[in-house]
Amino acid sequence: MLKRPAHLIRNSAVAGLLALFCAACQPEGGTDASAGAVEEVPALASFKEGQFESLDFDMDLQAPEVVFYDTNGGEARFSDFAGKVVVMNIWATWCTPCMAEMPSLAALQREFSEEEVVVIPVASGMMLTSRARTDEEKTAALEAAIVDHRDTLQELSEGVLPFYYDPGADVTFAAKTGAFPSTIIYDPQGVEVVRLMRDAHWDTPEAISLVRAVLNGAR
């Protein structure tokens, strides 16, 4: 009987031991192909259908640096929300579609931690159509408009969304949008990622997925 060369015997033994070692290291049920896999972030263009067919990704503007106001009349700026995804919504009580989508924006906020995503409705242009002439008339008209918008938002969002207002529409002009409603989503660096110049159902799976994709860095 022919004898196998010693080096072939050694190589075969080593290969056998390696095979046994590899098999022992496998988890039960075989190799898990998904182990360590990174979740794929969908491209934002994939959301451009249905109610989001008119999504616009081309503006790429920095969030406006202009001042707007909170419910107590204090100054607010978008830089106050640095490090968070900001869903900014331009609305007014005279705008029926604005009112219709507000409950769904509140539902959208409930889906996310406010440490990551904030929905910021800004009541805009309250004084642009005012017929007040004297300072006293203007003050009274603004106070009435603030109460009207604040109470309406409180009711529509069930207290979930914060009240901000922009009586001269400075935010609207700086963001380069004249549509009501308008929703613009900014990334944590304050750069516009996407805008929608119409109303939408923001509590739908595709809307929530869109915001989550921005949170995960999609472009």
pLDDT tens string 90-112: 999 999 999 999 999 999 999 99
Domain-located, residue 13: no
On the question of pLDDT at 18 being above 70, the answer is no
Domain-located, residue 20: no
Give the mean model confidence (pLDDT) for residues 159-169: 95
Domain-located, residue 199: yes
Domain-located, residue 123: yes
Domain-located, residue 101: yes
Which residues does 82 contact at the CB level (< 8 Å), separation at least 6? 188, 189, 190
Domain-located, residue 99: yes
Domain count, the chain: 1
> What pLDDT is stored for residue 63 in this prediction?
97
Q: Residues 170, 66: contact at Cβ < 8 Å?
A: yes
pLDDT tier at 178 (50, 70, 90 boundaries)?
confident
pTM of the model: 0.80
Domain-located, residue 62: yes
pLDDT tens string 110-161: 999 999 999 999 999 877 667 878 989 888 989 999 999 999 999 999 999 9
* Domain limits for position 162: 52-215
Domain-located, residue 38: no
Give the closest residue to 209 by CA, choosing from 56, 43, 57.
Answer: 43
Q: d(Cα 190, Cα 62) in Å, to the nearest integer? A: 6
CATH number of the domain where residue 127 is located: 3.40.30.10
Buried b or exposed e, range 142-163, using 16+ CB within 10 angstroms: beebbeebeebbeebbeebbbb
